[in-house]
Amino acid sequence: MSRVALERRLRAGEFVITAEINPPLSADPQDLLDVGLPLRGVADAVNVTDGASARAHLDVLSAAAILARSGMEPVLQLTCRDRNRIALQSMLVGAAAQGLHNILVLRGDNPEAGDQPDAKPVFDLDSNTLLATAAGIRDRGVLPHGRAVAGKCEFFLGAADSPIDPPPDWKPEGLMRKLRAGAQFVQTQFCLDPGVVRRYLARLGEHQLTERLFFLIGLAPLASARSARWIRQHLYGSIIPEALIERLDSAADQKLEGARICVELMHEMQQIPGVAGVHLMAPLNTDALAQVIGEFRAAASSRRRAV
Protein backbone atom coordinates (compact mmCIF):
# COMPACT_ATOMS: atom_id res chain seq x y z
CA MET A 1 0.00 0.00 0.00
CA SER A 2 1.33 3.41 -0.90
CA ARG A 3 1.44 5.85 1.99
CA VAL A 4 0.11 9.38 1.87
CA ALA A 5 2.09 12.23 3.37
CA LEU A 6 0.52 12.21 6.85
CA GLU A 7 1.26 8.54 7.35
CA ARG A 8 4.76 8.84 5.85
CA ARG A 9 5.66 11.70 8.18
CA LEU A 10 4.38 9.91 11.24
CA ARG A 11 6.25 6.71 10.37
CA ALA A 12 9.41 8.76 9.75
CA GLY A 13 9.19 10.13 13.29
CA GLU A 14 8.43 13.72 12.31
CA PHE A 15 6.47 15.86 14.76
CA VAL A 16 3.19 16.25 12.91
CA ILE A 17 0.71 19.12 13.18
CA THR A 18 -2.89 18.72 12.07
CA ALA A 19 -5.54 21.43 12.27
CA GLU A 20 -9.32 21.29 12.20
CA ILE A 21 -11.81 23.38 10.25
CA ASN A 22 -15.60 23.33 10.03
CA PRO A 23 -17.02 23.51 6.50
CA PRO A 24 -19.39 26.47 6.21
CA LEU A 25 -23.08 26.16 5.42
CA SER A 26 -22.44 27.42 1.91
CA ALA A 27 -22.68 26.09 -1.63
CA ASP A 28 -19.87 28.41 -2.71
CA PRO A 29 -16.54 26.51 -2.62
CA GLN A 30 -14.68 29.77 -2.11
CA ASP A 31 -16.21 30.13 1.34
CA LEU A 32 -14.59 26.82 2.32
CA LEU A 33 -11.29 27.77 0.70
CA ASP A 34 -11.22 31.06 2.57
CA VAL A 35 -11.04 28.98 5.77
CA GLY A 36 -8.80 26.20 4.48
CA LEU A 37 -6.23 27.86 2.23
CA PRO A 38 -4.36 29.68 5.04
CA LEU A 39 -3.37 26.19 6.27
CA ARG A 40 -2.04 24.96 2.91
CA GLY A 41 1.67 24.22 3.27
CA VAL A 42 1.42 25.08 6.96
CA ALA A 43 -0.44 22.18 8.61
CA ASP A 44 0.60 18.65 7.69
CA ALA A 45 -3.07 17.73 7.26
CA VAL A 46 -6.41 19.46 7.74
CA ASN A 47 -9.33 17.78 9.49
CA VAL A 48 -12.73 18.41 7.91
CA THR A 49 -15.53 18.00 10.43
CA ASP A 50 -18.69 16.00 9.73
CA GLY A 51 -21.71 17.93 10.95
CA ALA A 52 -19.87 19.30 13.98
CA SER A 53 -22.03 20.35 16.93
CA ALA A 54 -24.90 18.47 15.27
CA ARG A 55 -25.44 21.24 12.72
CA ALA A 56 -25.73 21.20 8.95
CA HIS A 57 -22.67 22.21 6.95
CA LEU A 58 -21.29 21.62 3.47
CA ASP A 59 -21.05 17.82 3.40
CA VAL A 60 -17.73 16.42 4.52
CA LEU A 61 -16.94 14.36 1.41
CA SER A 62 -17.41 17.33 -0.91
CA ALA A 63 -15.46 19.62 1.42
CA ALA A 64 -12.53 17.22 1.73
CA ALA A 65 -12.40 16.71 -2.03
CA ILE A 66 -12.38 20.47 -2.65
CA LEU A 67 -9.47 20.90 -0.22
CA ALA A 68 -7.56 18.00 -1.78
CA ARG A 69 -7.93 19.50 -5.26
CA SER A 70 -6.56 22.75 -3.82
CA GLY A 71 -3.34 21.12 -2.66
CA MET A 72 -4.15 20.18 0.94
CA GLU A 73 -4.14 16.79 2.62
CA PRO A 74 -7.51 16.32 4.31
CA VAL A 75 -8.44 14.12 7.23
CA LEU A 76 -12.04 13.22 6.55
CA GLN A 77 -14.02 12.93 9.76
CA LEU A 78 -16.80 10.37 9.45
CA THR A 79 -19.47 10.07 12.13
CA CYS A 80 -21.90 7.28 12.89
CA ARG A 81 -24.72 9.67 13.80
CA ASP A 82 -26.32 10.49 10.46
CA ARG A 83 -26.00 7.41 8.25
CA ASN A 84 -26.82 3.72 8.31
CA ARG A 85 -24.21 1.13 7.39
CA ILE A 86 -25.11 1.21 3.70
CA ALA A 87 -24.50 4.94 3.50
CA LEU A 88 -21.30 4.74 5.57
CA GLN A 89 -19.91 1.98 3.37
CA SER A 90 -20.73 4.06 0.29
CA MET A 91 -19.04 7.10 1.86
CA LEU A 92 -15.85 5.10 2.45
CA VAL A 93 -15.75 3.88 -1.15
CA GLY A 94 -16.52 7.41 -2.35
CA ALA A 95 -13.67 8.80 -0.27
CA ALA A 96 -11.23 6.37 -1.86
CA ALA A 97 -12.55 7.22 -5.32
CA GLN A 98 -11.86 10.91 -4.57
CA GLY A 99 -8.28 10.09 -3.52
CA LEU A 100 -8.99 10.68 0.17
CA HIS A 101 -7.09 8.35 2.47
CA ASN A 102 -7.08 9.77 6.00
CA ILE A 103 -10.28 8.86 7.83
CA LEU A 104 -11.06 9.80 11.43
CA VAL A 105 -13.95 7.70 12.71
CA LEU A 106 -16.19 9.30 15.34
CA ARG A 107 -19.49 8.63 17.07
CA GLY A 108 -20.82 12.12 16.42
CA ASP A 109 -22.57 14.66 18.62
CA ASN A 110 -26.14 13.92 19.65
CA PRO A 111 -28.66 15.97 17.61
CA GLU A 112 -30.17 17.26 20.84
CA ALA A 113 -27.04 19.40 21.21
CA GLY A 114 -27.54 21.08 17.84
CA ASP A 115 -29.88 23.63 16.31
CA GLN A 116 -32.39 21.00 15.09
CA PRO A 117 -32.91 18.92 18.23
CA ASP A 118 -35.83 16.99 16.72
CA ALA A 119 -33.51 15.40 14.11
CA LYS A 120 -33.39 11.62 14.43
CA PRO A 121 -29.95 10.05 15.01
CA VAL A 122 -29.08 6.79 13.25
CA PHE A 123 -26.14 5.15 15.07
CA ASP A 124 -26.57 1.96 13.06
CA LEU A 125 -22.85 1.34 13.63
CA ASP A 126 -20.62 2.37 16.51
CA SER A 127 -17.16 3.79 15.91
CA ASN A 128 -15.38 0.45 16.42
CA THR A 129 -17.63 -1.32 13.92
CA LEU A 130 -17.12 1.48 11.41
CA LEU A 131 -13.34 1.26 11.91
CA ALA A 132 -13.49 -2.48 11.31
CA THR A 133 -15.61 -1.93 8.20
CA ALA A 134 -13.06 0.52 6.77
CA ALA A 135 -10.17 -1.82 7.61
CA GLY A 136 -11.95 -4.72 5.90
CA ILE A 137 -12.54 -2.67 2.75
CA ARG A 138 -8.86 -1.64 2.75
CA ASP A 139 -7.22 -4.94 3.66
CA ARG A 140 -9.54 -7.54 2.12
CA GLY A 141 -11.57 -5.58 -0.42
CA VAL A 142 -14.88 -6.69 1.03
CA LEU A 143 -17.82 -5.31 2.97
CA PRO A 144 -18.64 -6.99 6.29
CA HIS A 145 -21.27 -9.24 4.68
CA GLY A 146 -18.76 -10.41 2.05
CA ARG A 147 -19.62 -8.31 -1.00
CA ALA A 148 -16.48 -7.40 -2.97
CA VAL A 149 -15.31 -3.80 -3.35
CA ALA A 150 -13.45 -3.02 -6.58
CA GLY A 151 -10.50 -0.65 -6.74
CA LYS A 152 -7.98 0.36 -4.07
CA CYS A 153 -9.09 1.89 -0.79
CA GLU A 154 -5.80 2.88 0.86
CA PHE A 155 -7.12 4.19 4.14
CA PHE A 156 -5.08 5.53 7.05
CA LEU A 157 -7.52 5.12 9.91
CA GLY A 158 -7.85 7.28 12.99
CA ALA A 159 -9.84 7.24 16.21
CA ALA A 160 -10.48 9.73 18.98
CA ASP A 161 -9.70 9.57 22.69
CA SER A 162 -9.76 11.80 25.76
CA PRO A 163 -6.55 11.85 27.84
CA ILE A 164 -7.04 11.27 31.54
CA ASP A 165 -4.86 11.30 34.63
CA PRO A 166 -4.95 7.53 35.02
CA PRO A 167 -5.79 6.05 38.44
CA PRO A 168 -3.63 3.09 39.56
CA ASP A 169 -6.01 0.39 38.31
CA TRP A 170 -6.95 2.03 35.00
CA LYS A 171 -6.44 0.14 31.75
CA PRO A 172 -6.93 1.66 28.28
CA GLU A 173 -9.52 -0.91 27.25
CA GLY A 174 -11.37 1.45 24.91
CA LEU A 175 -8.21 2.27 22.97
CA MET A 176 -7.26 -1.38 22.79
CA ARG A 177 -10.63 -2.13 21.20
CA LYS A 178 -10.09 0.67 18.68
CA LEU A 179 -6.65 -0.70 17.85
CA ARG A 180 -8.07 -4.17 17.29
CA ALA A 181 -10.78 -2.66 15.08
CA GLY A 182 -8.17 -1.07 12.82
CA ALA A 183 -7.13 2.33 14.22
CA GLN A 184 -3.64 3.50 13.26
CA PHE A 185 -3.57 7.01 14.72
CA VAL A 186 -5.39 8.85 17.50
CA GLN A 187 -6.37 12.50 17.73
CA THR A 188 -7.38 13.48 21.23
CA GLN A 189 -9.78 15.87 22.88
CA PHE A 190 -8.35 19.12 24.25
CA CYS A 191 -5.65 18.44 26.85
CA LEU A 192 -3.68 21.55 27.74
CA ASP A 193 -1.95 19.93 30.72
CA PRO A 194 1.45 18.43 29.82
CA GLY A 195 1.60 16.60 33.16
CA VAL A 196 -1.62 14.72 32.40
CA VAL A 197 -0.35 13.91 28.91
CA ARG A 198 2.89 12.48 30.31
CA ARG A 199 1.10 10.24 32.80
CA TYR A 200 -1.56 9.21 30.28
CA LEU A 201 0.98 8.22 27.62
CA ALA A 202 3.24 6.51 30.14
CA ARG A 203 0.33 4.25 31.08
CA LEU A 204 -0.48 3.62 27.42
CA GLY A 205 3.19 2.75 26.91
CA GLU A 206 2.89 0.04 29.56
CA HIS A 207 0.32 -1.58 27.28
CA GLN A 208 2.46 -1.07 24.12
CA LEU A 209 -0.11 1.30 22.65
CA THR A 210 2.36 4.11 21.96
CA GLU A 211 4.32 1.61 19.86
CA ARG A 212 1.28 0.69 17.79
CA LEU A 213 -0.65 3.96 17.49
CA PHE A 214 0.40 7.52 16.65
CA PHE A 215 -0.94 9.99 19.22
CA LEU A 216 -1.74 13.59 18.27
CA ILE A 217 -2.68 15.60 21.34
CA GLY A 218 -5.52 18.12 21.08
CA LEU A 219 -4.52 21.73 21.72
CA ALA A 220 -6.13 25.11 21.11
CA PRO A 221 -5.16 28.74 20.61
CA LEU A 222 -7.79 29.80 23.13
CA ALA A 223 -9.71 32.90 22.17
CA SER A 224 -10.43 34.02 25.73
CA ALA A 225 -10.82 32.90 29.31
CA ARG A 226 -14.57 32.75 28.71
CA SER A 227 -14.09 30.44 25.73
CA ALA A 228 -11.75 28.23 27.78
CA ARG A 229 -14.33 27.90 30.55
CA TRP A 230 -17.02 27.05 27.99
CA ILE A 231 -14.85 24.34 26.42
CA ARG A 232 -14.03 22.84 29.80
CA GLN A 233 -17.68 22.81 30.84
CA HIS A 234 -19.37 21.68 27.62
CA LEU A 235 -16.90 19.56 25.64
CA TYR A 236 -16.66 16.23 27.39
CA GLY A 237 -13.14 15.15 28.31
CA SER A 238 -11.51 18.56 27.80
CA ILE A 239 -8.69 19.40 30.21
CA ILE A 240 -7.71 23.05 30.63
CA PRO A 241 -5.86 23.90 33.86
CA GLU A 242 -7.25 26.74 35.93
CA ALA A 243 -3.81 28.40 35.89
CA LEU A 244 -4.04 28.84 32.12
CA ILE A 245 -7.50 30.37 32.40
CA GLU A 246 -6.27 32.79 35.05
CA ARG A 247 -3.36 33.71 32.78
CA LEU A 248 -5.83 34.52 30.00
CA ASP A 249 -8.02 36.47 32.40
CA SER A 250 -5.15 38.72 33.35
CA ALA A 251 -3.87 39.30 29.78
CA ALA A 252 -4.39 42.63 28.05
CA ASP A 253 -4.97 40.81 24.74
CA GLN A 254 -6.51 37.43 25.47
CA LYS A 255 -6.37 36.13 21.87
CA LEU A 256 -2.68 36.97 21.64
CA GLU A 257 -2.03 35.29 24.98
CA GLY A 258 -4.02 32.24 23.90
CA ALA A 259 -1.83 31.90 20.81
CA ARG A 260 1.31 32.31 22.92
CA ILE A 261 0.16 29.59 25.34
CA CYS A 262 -0.61 27.26 22.43
CA VAL A 263 2.90 27.64 20.94
CA GLU A 264 4.45 27.01 24.36
CA LEU A 265 2.38 23.86 24.77
CA MET A 266 3.34 22.63 21.30
CA HIS A 267 7.01 22.82 22.28
CA GLU A 268 6.29 21.01 25.56
CA MET A 269 4.33 18.25 23.82
CA GLN A 270 7.18 17.70 21.39
CA GLN A 271 9.37 16.64 24.33
CA ILE A 272 6.95 14.07 25.78
CA PRO A 273 7.67 10.42 24.90
CA GLY A 274 4.84 8.91 22.90
CA VAL A 275 3.54 12.19 21.46
CA ALA A 276 3.69 11.96 17.67
CA GLY A 277 2.26 15.42 17.11
CA VAL A 278 -0.56 17.79 17.98
CA HIS A 279 -4.04 18.36 16.66
CA LEU A 280 -5.13 21.98 16.77
CA MET A 281 -8.76 22.99 17.18
CA ALA A 282 -9.74 26.64 17.48
CA PRO A 283 -13.31 27.40 18.53
CA LEU A 284 -14.07 31.06 17.74
CA ASN A 285 -10.42 31.55 16.73
CA THR A 286 -9.79 29.72 13.45
CA ASP A 287 -7.71 32.61 12.13
CA ALA A 288 -5.07 31.84 14.76
CA LEU A 289 -4.31 28.34 13.48
CA ALA A 290 -1.85 29.29 10.73
CA GLN A 291 -0.26 31.88 13.04
CA VAL A 292 0.55 29.46 15.87
CA ILE A 293 1.80 26.76 13.50
CA GLY A 294 4.05 29.29 11.76
CA GLU A 295 5.44 30.56 15.06
CA PHE A 296 6.10 27.03 16.28
CA ARG A 297 7.87 26.01 13.07
CA ALA A 298 9.95 29.20 13.01
CA ALA A 299 11.13 28.64 16.59
CA ALA A 300 11.89 24.98 15.93
CA SER A 301 13.89 25.90 12.83
CA SER A 302 15.90 28.47 14.81
CA ARG A 303 16.70 25.87 17.44
CA ARG A 304 17.92 23.41 14.81
CA ARG A 305 20.19 26.02 13.27
CA ALA A 306 21.60 26.86 16.69
CA VAL A 307 22.57 23.26 17.41
Q: What is the pLDDT of residues 203-250, one digit of tens each?
A: 999 999 999 999 999 999 999 999 999 999 999 999 999 999 999 999
| For residues 4-13, average pLDDT | 95
Q: What is residue 3's predicted lDDT score, i.e. its pLDDT?
A: 60
Report the pLDDT averaged over residues 69-83.
97
- The answer to whether residue 307 scores a pLDDT higher than 70 is no
pLDDT at 273 over 80: yes
- Contacts for 157 with CB less than 8 Å, ≥ 6 apart: 103, 105, 131, 134, 135, 138, 182, 183, 184, 185
pLDDT at 8 over 80: yes
Strands (E), 65-161: 74-79, 102-106, 156-161
Domain locations along the chain: 5-161
Element (H, E) at 64: helix 60-69
Nearest to 127 by CA among 149, 108, 153: 108
Mean local confidence (pLDDT), 41-53: 96
- Asked if CATH classification 3.20.20.220 holds for the domain at 5-161, the reply, yes or no, is yes
Handedness of CA 291, 53, 17, 303 (dihedral sign): positive
Q: Can you list the positions of beta strands (E) in 60-155?
A: 74-79, 102-106
pTM (predicted TM-score): 0.96
Position 1 pLDDT exceeds 70:
no
Task: From 36, 43, 45, select the one nearest 185 (Cα to Cα).
Answer: 45
Helix axes of 194-206 and 254-270: crossing angle, nearest 10 degrees: 30
pLDDT at 255 over 80: yes
pLDDT in tens, 278-306: 999 998 899 999 999 999 999 877 777 76
pLDDT of residue 232: 95
3-class DSSP state for residue 291? helix
